[in-house]
Amino acid sequence: MVATALFYIFAAIATAGAIMVVAQRNPVYSALYLVLTLFALAGEYVLLMAHFIAIVHVAVYAGAIVVLFLFVIMLLNVRLEERAPDAFRYMIYAGLPMAAILFVEMGYFAFRGFQQAMVQGTRVGLVESIGRALFSQYVLPFEVASILLLVAMIGALYLSKRKLEIVAFKRPRSKKERLKVMMYEEEH
Amino acid sequence: MPAVPISHFLILSAVLFSLGVLGVIIRRNAIVIFMCIELMLNAVNLTFLAFSNYLNNVEGQIFVFMVMVVAAAEVAVGLAIIVAIFRLRETVHVDEIKLLKW
């Protein structure tokens, strides 16, 4: 009974947080409500006996991804989302039915198919079993994932670098280059 | 032992996924659209874990791990792209960034 109560509490928090993420006009509040949703989801993961994933989820999402979001929002100094001009205002009339249809579709099959199946006590989500799987059968995907992260890091660095900065660091050789550096410094 | 039906988790996942879709469609701020994509990824993760528990199989958990890796990479690159676009156009509203070339 405790598990059922906890499920509904976490589900309510997650749903309310998700609604606020979509409804808030200030992106900073959206990010903070996203943290709330993610913490509630971590609670659901624990109820599903996925302890390792729950911990990693909190560390990766709340600790890294949302912080990155907040950094970018504050870097960009984004203003409040004002009322949308012209055609975009009617987007909600397309979005609401689509989301509703999607929900009914998925919810119907979930409700019809898995009514009797209960969450079972299993050791499959513990650190031990995941570690065994990750470092034996799935060691290649694991290594590929690390390469993917490296590539993403290099890509993010390259994209966020200003192109002209390289010129500024180099010692100017000709009059033309010196002029370019001076112009750059004036600009920034 | 917890005795919650699997279907409850799947329905919660459907709710979160639909809200993510709704956000992607109606919001104009590219950063908030990214947050809604994260919401959808998390809904899928919840489904993976529910079925991993139902089938008593570790592969669902490995998949969630991989989804998290991809989500982290996607956010890093995506936010860098948004910063680059903001430098060029001084906006992050998707309805003002509709040309592929300028």
Interface contact flag, A160 B21, Cβ < 8 Å: no
Give burial (CB, 10 Å; 0-12/13-18/19+) of B68: buried
pLDDT at B99 over 90: no
Residues A117, B5: C-beta atoms closer than 8 Å: yes
CB < 8 Å to A60, chain B: 68, 71-72
Read off the tokens for B82: 């948004």
- Domain range summary for chain A, segments of one domain joined by +: 2-127, 138-188
Question: How do residues B75-91 score in pLDDT, each as one tens digit?
Answer: 999 999 998 888 887 78
d(CA A177, nearest CA chain B) in Å: 24
Q: Do B65 and A130 touch (CB under 8 A)?
A: yes
Output B21 or A76, whichever has higher pLDDT.
Answer: B21
Question: Is residue A173 very low, low, confident or very high in pLDDT (cuts 50, 70, 90)?
Answer: low
Higher pLDDT residue, B62 or A78?
B62
What is the spatial distance between Cα B48 and Cα B1, in angstroms, rounded to a whole number? 20
Residues of A in contact with B5 (CB under 8 A): 114-119
Instruction: Provide the pLDDT for residue B41.
Output: 95
Contact A60 B68 (CB under 8 A): yes
CATH architecture of A2-127: Up-down Bundle (1.20)
Compute the distance between CA of residue B76 and CA of residue B94 in angstroms, rounded to an integer. Answer: 19
Task: Write down the pTM of the prediction.
Answer: 0.85
3-state secondary structure of A177: helix
ipTM of the complex: 0.91
Residues A118-159 have pLDDT tens digits of 888 888 888 999 999 999 999 999 999 999 999 999 999 998
Task: Please name the member of B7, B16, B95 whose beta carbon is closest to the beta carbon of A115.
Answer: B7
Between B39 and A79, residue with greater pLDDT:
B39
Contacts of B28 in chain A (CB under 8 A): 81, 84, 88
In the 8-state DSSP scheme, what is residue A63?
A: I
* Average pLDDT of the residues of chain A: 85
Whether B65 sits inside 8 A of A53 (CB atoms) is yes
pLDDT surpassing 90 at residue B93: no
Is pLDDT of A83 > 70?
no
pLDDT of residue B27: 87
**Mean pLDDT over all residues of chain B?**
89
Residue in A124, A139, A146, A163 to test binding to B, most B beta-carbons within 10 Å: A124
Q: Domains in chain B and their CATH numbers?
A: 6-89 (1.10.287.3510)
Residue of A nearest to B64 (CA): A53
Q: What is the mean pLDDT of residues A95-109?
A: 90
**pLDDT value of residue A3:** 87
The phi-psi region of residue A156 (left if phi > 0; otherwise alpha if psi is between -120 and 50; otherwise beta) is alpha
Compare all CA atoms of chain B with the CA of A149 and give the residue at the minimum distance: B73
Question: pLDDT grade, residue A168 (50/70/90)?
Answer: very low
DSSP string of A105-145? HHHHHHHHHSSSPBP---STTSHHHHHHHHTTTTHHHHHHH
Tell me the per-residue pLDDT of B21-62, one tens digit each, with 9 for 90 and over: 999 998 888 999 999 999 999 999 999 999 999 998 999 999
